Structure 1
Amino acid sequence: MILLTGFEPFGGETVNPSWLAVRQTADKLNAEGVPATAVELPCVFHESIETLRRAIADHGPELVLCVGQAGGRDGVSLERIAINIDDARIPDNKGNQPIDSSVSAGGPAAYFSTLPIKQCLGDIGGAGIPAMVSQTAGTYVCNHVFYGLMDLLATQNDGARGGFIHVPFSTEQASVHNAPGMEVADMASALRIIALTSQATTSDLRLPAGAEH
């Protein structure tokens, strides 16, 4: 079973392409005989992790792909590392705005994704979809969920793997913000590739995909 999660809208937006894309992805995978389900997370600190925890308990996935929106980026971002910090520039959807707080008190400083992110990068690029490895998922609810996911998987010890992917604005949002965007269908195609590649391999490629700053 593959569990995909997306977020509800936040920051004044009326849609969140992460949720639209994971729904399409789950439909694509199920149509191909690959069991998958999509769950919407609230854009709320702590509640989002609790919703994710319940979804993992309910579905028992072997693979978890959490997805969020990164408006302004110009491609699908495979996140490398989750850090144990909440530092919210804007309030979440219930008005919470933690500053310099731990996601998990006493937890490790960081977790790495357990997805083969560079193999996924190559496969997405081969499909002609813009993609990159990202070194930061921010310090808002996306990183909060990414860290929470990896902490859950690390402490369950059941062999499940997972990671976090950011998608850009949808083309409709991009036209409003005068920013880069992507069709939701292309986001879903990229997420399908990530899911299938991650199912097929636990090893990763060695290729340059880092950043100078």
Structure 2
Amino acid sequence: MKLLVTGFDPFGGESVNPAYEAVKLLPDIIEGAQIIKLEIPTVFKKSIEVVKEAVENDQPDVVINVGQAGGRACVTVEKVAINLADAGIPDNAGDSPQDEPLEEDGPDAYFSTLPVRAMVENVKSHGLPCEISYSAGTYVCNSVMYRVLHLAARSYPNMKAGFIHVPYSSEQVANKDRPLASMPIETIAKSLEHAIEAVVKE
């Protein structure tokens, strides 16, 4: 079994993105499955192209995209992505779509094809907080989740896909002007590892 796990590059003025920093710490093998790690750009149009190229080259059984959700207190596994791009801030290419569909011919939403509840329960069983989320937002995280599921539905029907949001890292909030929820990178990575275990065991 082969899993492609991606994390975004820094955005919004941050010097790091805990998503990819945590992905980098993942073992190369989890429960016998190969883990392919990839950094992708926080750019609406380019992010899916980078993932699509990796899917074509590596032919993974599963794609898990990971992104930062500043303000959330723990790792959250996304249940649904919507066909909408509505940026509160420009992406890293300066693009700021408003009320635009991601795919003109796509459905209003896609549900994750990962075992979301089992992922959350396995993380929690290892003493780490984790929740299901029912909103991936309308920024690049939702965009790549939706578009990867759209790609799977149209071209790779046996490929499963989904998204995990992670909180700020502890280092990111240390010098902010108000206290914000955060988690050490190593703890985020462990949460991701346990979530992936549930995917592989399904």
**Does TM, scored on the shorter chain, surpass 0.5?**
yes
Other-structure match for 1:105: 104
Other-structure match for 2:185: 184
Q: What is the CA-CA distance between 1:200 and the residue it aligns to?
A: 1.3
In the superposition, the TM-score normalised over structure 1's length comes to 0.90
Letter in 2 for 1:188: A
Other-structure match for 2:145: 146
Other-structure match for 1:93: 92
Other-structure match for 2:114: 115
Q: What is the CA-CA distance between 1:127 and the residue it aligns to?
A: 0.8
Other-structure match for 1:193: 194
Identity in percent: 41
Within-5 A mapping of 1:21-100:
21-25=22-26, 28-30=27-29, 33-100=32-99
How far apart, in 1, do the equivalents of 2:162 and 2:33 lie? 19
How far apart, in 1, do the equivalents of 2:169 and 2:124 lie? 19
In the superposition, the TM-score normalised over structure 2's length comes to 0.95
Q: Is the 8 A contact 2:148 2:161 kept in 1?
A: yes
SS in 2 for 1:124: helix
How far apart, in 1, do the equivalents of 2:98 and 2:168 lie? 26
How far apart, in 2, do the equivalents of 1:187 and 1:136 lie? 20
How far apart, in 2, do the equivalents of 1:153 and 1:195 lie? 19
How far apart, in 2, do the equivalents of 1:157 and 1:180 lie? 37
How far apart, in 2, do the equivalents of 1:107 and 1:49 lie? 15
SS in 2 for 1:155: helix
Other-structure match for 1:205: none
How far apart, in 2, do the equivalents of 1:33 and 1:15 lie? 30
Q: Is the 8 A contact 2:31 2:197 kept in 1?
A: no
SS in 2 for 1:176: coil
Other-structure match for 1:4: 5
Q: What is the CA-CA distance between 1:39 and the residue it aligns to?
A: 0.7
Gaps of 5+ in 1: 202-213
SS in 1 for 2:64: strand
Letter in 2 for 1:45: F
How far apart, in 2, do the equivalents of 1:69 and 1:157 lie? 26
Q: Which runs of 4+ in 1 moved over 3 A?
A: none
